[in-house]
Chain A
C-alpha cells in the first residue's frame, strides 16, 4: 500500500467505498431482512486544498507526533529526533509466543538482506504495545537475547496513550485479549528520512523483497 501525499486520499476513499459495498453484501448473506443502510456515508468529491507536494508530504510526517519514547538504552526521544534515518517500524510485545517471534524474525531477515547494500541511515524500530511488561530494561534484555543490540536496532517504550496514537498512524490494530496476550496486526512500515510512510508489508513470513528494495532505495 502506498501512502504518499494525495494518494492516501484516494486509497482511503476507494477503501471506504469498498467497505460500504462489503457491508451491504454482508447483510444480504446474513439476514433476510431488508438491509438497513448505515446512514449513508457521503463520499465527497475531493476538495484538496492546493498544496505544494512538499507541504503535503510534510503534513503526513510522523515527526509531528507529540509523544515521547524511551529507548532500550533509557534515552528519551521523539520521532523527530530520528530525522534523516529511514525507519523500518513494527509493533510487537516481548512476551508474545505466537506471532511476534516471527515478526521479529522478519525484521531480522529484512535487516540481513538490506545490510550488504546498506548505507548508514537506517533504523529498525520495534515499538512495544505492552508498556507495563516491556520496560526499557526488559526491551534491552530482549535485544541482547535476540542479538539485536547493534546501533541500527531501536526498541521503544511509552505510555499507553502514545502507543495507541502511534498505532493509529500505522493503522495497526491491537487489543489486549487476556492479561498476558494481545491480538494485533502484523505490519512492517517503512518511513523515509522525512518521516513519511512509504511502504507497508502486511502478514507474517511474506516475501520481503519489495520491502528490502524500498529500504535500500530510500537509504542513500
Chain B
C-alpha cells in the first residue's frame, strides 16, 4: 500500500511537471510463457510482475512531453535519433491535427519513445512483457488458442489506417489493458533482441532466416502466424525509423518494497 501511494504520488508530480496526464497503468501479474522466438525451442520464459500503460501514447500526450523536452520536437530532433518522417502528420513543432489528439502518436522512433517513457519514470516494455500482456483475452490470461482472439488480430492486420482511431474505445483485456491490437504496432524496449537461435557464429543470415525459412518452420498455425508477423516486423526496424502504423506505450517495474 505504501509503495502504491508513493507510486501514485510520483505519478502525480510527474503529471504536474509536464501539464498533461500520462496514460493510466494496469498491473500485470507475471508468470511463465513460451514465446514464439526465445531462448530456445519451447523454452519457458519467466516474466516478472509489471505495470503497463492501459492505452498507447496519444498525440496529445506526446505533445505535452515535447513541450517539456523541445529537443524531441520535429525541427530539433537529431537524425541519428529519428528519420526525416518523424511526426510526419504534425503540422509543426507545436501542432498536431486536432482530430488525432486522442489517436496513438505515430511516426515516432525508438529513441523518442524511450525518452518519452523515461520522462515519466517509465520505460518501454520488453518484447516478453508486451507479448505476455497481449496473449490475454477479455476473460483469460492466455487466449491464444481462442479462434475469436486470433481472428480479431488477423482482421486488424488486414485493416488499413487504424492508427487514426481513438485509443481506449475497445474493451480491456484480462489485465485491464486496451488496444494492444487494433490501432498501431508498438515499439518494444529490446526490439533488436530478435535473433533466431543461439547460433551467434552465423549472423549474416539471421534476417533472411527470420523472413523466409522461419515463416514455414515457426508459423505453422495461425496463432504463431500472428505473432510471427510481429516478430518479423520488429526485426525489420532500426531504432531511428519512424513509420505510420508504429506507436508505443510504456511499462514500469513494480517496486516490491
Chain A: residues with CB nearer than 8 A to chain B?
A: 8-9, 12, 15-16, 19-20, 22-23, 25-27, 29-31, 33, 36-42, 44, 46-49, 56, 59-62, 64, 96, 98-99, 102, 161, 164-165, 167-169, 171-175, 177-178, 181-187, 202-204
Contact = CB atoms under 8 A, between A and B. Distances in A.
Given A47-B85, A60-B79, A165-B239, 15 more contacts: A9-B83, A16-B236, A16-B241, A19-B236, A23-B232, A26-B232, A29-B212, A30-B220, A39-B160, A61-B80, A96-B200, A169-B239, A171-B239, A183-B197, A203-B203
21 contacts: A9-B84, A16-B236, A23-B233, A30-B225, A31-B215, A33-B222, A39-B162, A40-B160, A48-B84, A102-B201, A169-B239, A173-B235, A174-B195, A183-B199, A184-B203, A185-B195, A185-B206, A186-B200, A187-B203, A203-B204, A204-B203
Nearest to A196: B80
Contacts of B147: none
Contacts of B235: 173
Contact of B192 (A23, A39, A96, A171): A171
Nearest to B161: A39
Interface of B: 39-40, 75, 78-81, 83-85, 88, 110-111, 114, 123, 154, 156-162, 185, 189-190, 192-195, 197-201, 203-204, 206, 211-212, 214-216, 219-220, 222, 225, 229, 232-233, 235-236, 238-241, 243-245
Contacts of B215: 26-27, 29-31
A171 B233 CA distance: 15
B49 to A, nearest CB: 19
Given A30-B215, A175-B194, A168 B39 contact: no
A9 B117 CA distance: 26
B85 A185 contact: no
